[in-house]
Structures are given as C-alpha cells and as structure tokens.
A and B are shown apart, each in its own frame.
Chain A
C-alpha cells in the first residue's frame, strides 16, 4: 500500500466525512419526531409544515376522547403484559442458553431469534391461526402473546450478552463461600443481570405499547390498541390530533428511557 501523499489532509477529510455522516444520521433519526411534535402544537386544524402558532388543544382533545384514552389504556396493559412475559420467559431462557450444560443450548439460543427475524405481518398471521387452533381468538391476551413471541429475542439477547460477560468464577466463588446454586442466583447473578433485565424490559414494553405489524392481526376488535386506533384515525382525520397522539407515544418512550437512566444509568443499558 502506497502511503498517501498528504496524510494530514486525507486524515482530516476522512474525519470530516465521518462527522458529517454522524450528524446526518442523527438528523435522520430525530427529525421525524421533531416534525411530528412541532405539528402537534399547531393552531390550525389541518396538518401542514411549518406549523403556525402554539397550543395544547390537540393534547387536551386526545385525553378528552374516550376512544383514544381507552386505546392508550389497552396499549399500556399490553405493554406491561409483554414486559412481564418477556422477563418471566426470557431471563430463564438466557440462563439456560449460557449456563446450560446439555446439548442443544446453541440451537435454543438461535431458535429464540427466529420469530424476531420473521416479518411481523407473517408472525401476526401465524399467531392468529395458532390461537384459533387452541381456541384463543383475537384479543388483548392474544395480542400480548403475539408481541411477546416477536420481541422475546430482545430480552434473551440482552440478558445473554450480559451473562456471557460476567466472570464465570463469580458463581464458583459464591459456591465456594457456601451459597447453594439458588442462593448464588439470587444474591450474585440476578443483581448483576438487573441492568440488562431493566434494559430488556424497557425495549419490550415500548414494543408491546406501539407494535402494529403483529398486533394488526391479533388485537381484540373491541380493545383496539393505540397504534391501530391511530392508523384508523390517519385515514379519516387530517388534524394535528394525529400528531398529538404520536407526541404522547414519543413522550412515553422518552419517559421510559429517563426512568432507566435514573435507575441503572444509560451506561448500564449498553453494558
């Protein structure tokens, strides 16, 4: 490889390009949310950009409409159910995948990923049919189950990667100091997995709250979740009310992240 003629210049160009890309991707990530939030405060009764004026009216209307409040409550319940199911199923699965001493643990950890790789729509249809087979029709329960199947992999992977990076001798040390396997799990492994479980819980909750691709097939038709209600609204209503509903969802996601950052710190999520 020939050394570049002017390394300082190419280096600077390279760094400049990287920075530009980083800024661009940040803008792409954040801009839609910002635009929606701006529109949600518009005083005019139609969606247009740039917005004019400033009002909280649309948010007041969101909470004044029973349909929307009910949808929000439904989504909150589904989100919580998904989170609880993912913790109950995902944490033991991750433990087995990493600590299990029998053949098939690798196969299991790959298998858990499969539903997450399948397009949500396909999974939604599959769960709908499977539910019909065992006599569970579209309902909040089936919706929670379907989204759990879809996002369980996130919980398993998050906990799994944390578990893999724990020093295996911590468990041995606990045993050597007199802890039974259960005591070691309770006093050492679980506390050290907590940041990963919390991070997994936040992501699965958000998915449970606003998933649409799977839920569109499995939700109860009388208990419509917020994203489905929003989809229906977009087709018939053209006021910033839609933007205000999105604003509520964005706010909820931010709140969840803030809660995590206060309890375990955002570094804990990366860990």
Chain B
C-alpha cells in the first residue's frame, strides 16, 4: 500500500521532459530570475505568464541556451543542458518576430536545420514537404517570407522547428505580430496543432486570455519568481497569492480580521483560514450577488453599471471598499439605477481567498 504513491512520484519525475531546477540569472547587479523551478510533462503546454520585465522571456532564453543561468539546472530528459551549446539543444524556438530568413524560400527556411545537420537532399525535400503539409502550407514552399501573411509566416516558423523534432517547443509571444482579429482563431489552431503532434511546449505571453486558451498549466511570474503553477481554472479560482488574483481576471479585495481560524465576511457568512490577525480577502466579481434595496448587512450605493452581453457589471461603494459585481441582467422593473442602495452577498465563500495583508 505504501509503495503506490512512491511509484507514482517516480513516474511523474521520469515523465518530465523539461525540468527547471532552482534557476537564477543575473545581469550585473540585477537579478532577473530568482530560484525558478518548474517541471513540464511530456505533451504538456505550460505558459509563462507575467507583465513585461517579470523574467518570462529570460527564462525562455535560458532554456533555449541564448543565455545561461548563474545557478540551477535545466534538465531535458534528465540531462542537464546548461553546458550544452545553443546549437545542440533539443529545443525549437518560435521567435516573436518569427525570425524567418528573408533571403531563403519557405522550403529553404524549413529545411535549414536539416541542411545544417548534413542530411541528404532527398530526405530534406521529403521532410520539408511533410512539414509544409502539417502546417497546411503545401504549395507555398517556393515563396519568400515577405510574400506571406502574418499567420502564414507564423506557421512557417513553427514548421521550421517541428521538422527537427525537438523535445521542447519554445514559443515567445507568437501572436504579438498578428492582428487582434486573427489571434483568437490562431490560438485555438496552434494549441490543436501542438496537441495533435504531442509536443511539449513552453509558451511565453503577457496576455492572460492567450494563456487561458493555450495552456494546460500556467506559471504566473512576478519580478523574476514563479508565483504559482497550476491549471488555468485553478489559477483563476484559487489564486495562491494576492498578486496572482490581481493579475488574472478581475478581483475585489477588502480588509478583514482573522480570529480562531475564521474570517467573517461582510455579509455575515464566514470562511476558514490558517492566518490570524489582519488579512485581505479576495472575491471574483461573479462570486458576489447584488439585490436592490437594503436587505442585509452588506449594503452599498450603486455607482455605475453597464451591460456586458447577458451580464451586468456593477460598481458599488461599500464600507469594505469599492466592489465590482458581475451578475445576470434582471427584468427591467427590478433593475436598480445608479445611486440606489443595494445589498451585496458572497455566493460561495469557498471561492473567496484569504491573503496576508
């Protein structure tokens, strides 16, 4: 009976294609990565998400080998790669600018890595054709990158690394160069392509919607550290820190006192916590309810409301601070107007989070 969890843990370790262990990176006196650890399983897509300057691109560049960390290890299939030269690492990078070679045709771009490996011409041609097929660009092999649309260029950049069958695919904000209109569809396509090929991928972005669409797990980064690694739903529902809660989705924060393992919510319900003393409580806007009139202990004045499709977003000022509520629209007669007194409630106290102040 005791053997089972051990065996499971070992299995999990051996299945990790990429393991980043306590990586730190400094530029001069500035520490840009501090003690970052992350394991990525075979076929998993993990997003490094954070604002600019949080170190997400630095971590990606360390994995690719363009920079080397001062401390820690980057293991691919259990082998530390920190000493491996950049051109021998089994990783494929899709650059933000795509970095397609402008003087080479699409086919020559895709075949470049195979040519560097000295493969015979016939094999290169066959594998390039297959890669073009994979990214649905058959027939465009003779074009030059400048003759392609942004979306097509992105697919060439992906095909160029896929053809080398890397162990890890690294994507650096691959949607930045695309029209906002194209992005949504391209994100779904790209995720499906990576999943179909069973690739292990690290994806860097500052855009949380992109992260939610693309990832199996999200690593939220802040000032060179990884704050939380979890599946998108968990990041959204159970943010580990106030920073993550604030960065992902919208959130309401208020001050409270924790006593004897409990926090009393403003509407009278309570919530268990391991903290004591002053704390910050967080609730997502859709976890709050709103009733017109003075019906309960948590009252406030409606400052502003706007329709967001079938939902209404309310801004309410209360004794605990200004709150945002997302709720279904009511029949016109029962819809409050700005300036009305309203009563707020927490729908599920279990979805509130308690943080240190």
Contacts and interface: CB of A to CB of B under 8 A. Distances in A.
Nearest to A166: B102
Contacts of B64: 172, 176
Nearest to B113: A177
B97 A169 contact: yes
Interface in A82-120: none
Q: Interface of chain A, helix or strand or loop or mixed?
A: helix
B112 A167 contact: no
Interface residues of A, number: 17
Interface in A167-199: 167, 169-170, 172-180, 183, 187-188, 191-192
Interface in A132-181: 167, 169-170, 172-180
B182 to A, nearest CB: 21
B91 interface: yes
Given A172-B93, A174-B112, A180 B99 contact: no
Contacts of A176: 64, 86-87, 89, 91-93, 161
Size bin of chain B's contact surface: 20 to 34
Given A173-B93, A177-B160, A178-B113, A167 B99 contact: yes
B95 A172 contact: yes
Nearest to A178: B116
Nearest to A183: B116
Contacts of A191: 103
B86 A192 contact: no
A109 to B, nearest CB: 23
Interface in B112-168: 112-113, 116-117, 160-161, 164
B181 interface: no
B8 interface: no
A167 B103 contact: no
Contacts of B89: 176
A172 B66 contact: yes
Contacts of B112: 174, 177, 179, 187
Contacts of B97: 167, 169
A178 B93 contact: no
A160 B294 CA distance: 72
Contacts of A174: 101, 112, 116
B88 interface: yes
Contact of A180 (B87, B92, B113): B87
Interface string B68-93: 00000000000000000011110111
A188 B160 CA distance: 15
Contacts of B100: 173
A189 to B, nearest CB: 10
Among B86, B99, B100, B164, the most chain A Cβ lie within 10 Å of the Cβ of B99
Interface in B219-274: none
Interface string A13-25: 0000000000000
B343 to A, nearest CB: 56
Among B64, B86, B161, the most chain A Cβ lie within 10 Å of the Cβ of B86
Nearest to A177: B113
Contacts of A178: 87-88, 113, 116-117, 164
Contacts of B117: 178
A172 B86 CA distance: 9
Interface string B53-71: 0000000000011100000
Contacts of B103: 191-192
Contacts of B92: 176-177
B116 A177 contact: yes
A192 B145 CA distance: 14
A169 B89 CA distance: 17
A169 B176 CA distance: 15
A216 B116 CA distance: 50
18 contacts: A167-B97, A167-B99, A170-B101, A172-B66, A172-B93, A172-B95, A173-B95, A174-B112, A175-B66, A175-B86, A176-B87, A176-B92, A176-B161, A177-B92, A177-B164, A178-B117, A179-B116, A188-B101
Given A169-B95, A172-B99, A177-B160, 15 more contacts: A167-B99, A169-B99, A172-B95, A173-B100, A176-B89, A177-B87, A177-B92, A177-B113, A177-B164, A178-B87, A178-B88, A178-B113, A179-B112, A179-B116, A191-B103
Interface of B: 64-66, 86-89, 91-93, 95-97, 99-103, 112-113, 116-117, 160-161, 164
Sort A-B residue pairs by CB-CB distance and give the 6 closest, nearest first.
A177-B113, A173-B99, A169-B99, A178-B116, A169-B95, A175-B86
